[in-house]
Amino acid sequence: MSDSQLLTSPALELAALVRSGEVSAIELTELALAAIEAKNPTLGAFIMTDAERALEAAAMIQPGDERPFAGVPTAIKDIGAMLEGYPFTCGANLFGDFTAPMDSAVTRRIKDAGFVITGKTNLPEFGILPVTESLRYGPARNPYDTSRTPGGSSGGAAAAVASGMLPIAHGSDGAGSLRIPAACCGLVGFKASRNRISSAPLLAESEMATEGFLTRTVADAAATLDVLAGYEVGDANWAPPPRHGTFLDAARREPGTLRIGFTIRPTVDRPVDQTHVDAVVETAEVLESLGHEVVEADVPWTNEDMLPLFMQKWSVGIAMLASFAARVSKQEVSPETVERLTWEFYEQGIDQKAVDIALVDGMLKSYIRGVIAVTSEFDAILTPVLNQRPVPIGSIDSSEGMPAFEKAIDFTSFTAGINLAGLPATALPTGIAEDGLPVAIQLIGRPADEETLFSLAAQLENVNPWIDLRP
């Protein structure tokens, strides 16, 4: 197997090679570091690397190591999950030179699983936009077409994996931030159910955001969820464990005959590119040929009244994160220290009264209950991920303020509502379109039922393997 083939192989297979002694953790890490050095100046996937610490960690891993990802190089997205001793900036100048004082539970679990951390990946400021173009770090670019976005906010992670710098990379998803980059870059992006993955020890549980990985295969996505999922001391809520074995077991099981609904209606009424419509229709036909009951679903989630409520809720989270950044860096949140879009969200969020926030939460929960009641009639829902094709770099510009967020909704309005609902969902590649860019679909599951999604996604992967998709 060539060096380039190693870095585009499934992570579980690489760990097996390390375990057997066919390849060493140091060899894999050196290959990854060399690929990063060669490709990152063009793609902007990484904001920093630490070769010394990565090689020290790799040197500790020997043949026979039974940990699921022993010796596999990866990277951590620079938001949410803290990595002790590394910069923690969330893509924002406002954080200054703040360094994480400890590992988050997620990064501890990643280390305990045997991963070798090579550095941290790029993202938009505070993870707000579905493109990765912060003022602090500059743009990450799509390996399939460097004039296009790799998506966001886990755009650096997706660019790193799709380009063959890494076989797998950590990311997070607060409104589509794993699924959108996966769709742009031909990868698997799996968002777990609410409270499946703990945000301990520093953060309260999030109603919308969760951690995860950008992977090449469904099995890798399932195995990483086995690593990340589970209760941490002090968690107020947590999702129930898998009903039958592990999530990886689920990815290796046949799903049985399922009832699947499909729709091309987004949660916010915006046009959908015909490429994405065709991908959903073709996938529905494949699922029907596999014996599933597939019907067009009348999902009542298109509601323009919900958008301003979502933006109110979103603004509070941004204001909280910006306030934390200002506190640790001893700066003020101002138009000079944050991007214009961040500033406008901050102003909206900081001015809200507690009673208004509670009212918005109640109205959104009522809306979501109605959506879940209908979607629960199905074992899975099939939709597009994106409304548009991956957009050109610079077309969604945070310096425009709120108009940039409107453009972001035009780009992708199928994902954020799933975070509000707390449902599991995954983006899966379907191939390459005539424009040379990947195409993807989204599968949405029932509450806390990742197992069915993994089984169904793996079945689609077996019918239409995408492991060899390359820029």
Task: Please state, in angstroms and as integers, the Cα–Cα distance from residue 181 to each residue in 171, 231, 385, 459, 461, following that order.
Answer: 10, 28, 10, 22, 18
- Which secondary structure element, helix H or strand E, spans residue 382, and what is its range? strand 380-384
Q: What is the 3-state secondary structure (H, E, C) of 76-140?
A: EECCCCCCCCCECCCCCHHHCCCECCCCCHHHHHHHHCCCEEEEEECCCHHHCCCCCEECCCEEC
- Of the residues 177, 199, 398, 413, only one is catalytic, namely 177
Of 290, 397, 302, give the one whose Cα is nearest residue 340: 397
**DSSP at 297:** -
Cβ atoms of residues 261 and 445 within 8 Å: no
C-alpha 224: how far from its chain's center?
13
- Of the residues 153, 163, 172, 193, only one is catalytic, namely 153
DSSP string, 170-200: EEEESSSTTHHHHHHHT-EEEEPPTTSB--T
The tokens for 386 are 């994106």
The reply to whether 153 belongs to the active site is: yes
The reply to whether 177 belongs to the active site is: yes
Cβ atoms of residues 132 and 178 within 8 Å: no
C-alpha 229: how far from its chain's center?
15
* Exposure of 302 in the CB half-sphere (CA atoms within 13 A): 10
**DSSP at 230:** B
- Of the residues 77, 120, 313, 407, only one is catalytic, namely 77
The reply to whether 313 belongs to the active site is: no
- Distance between CA atoms of 314 and 175, rounded to whole angstroms? 10
Burial of 146 (0-12, 13-18, 19+ CB in 10 A): middle
The tokens for 187 are 């990868």
The tokens for 399 are 């310096």
Residues classed as catalytic: 77, 153, 177
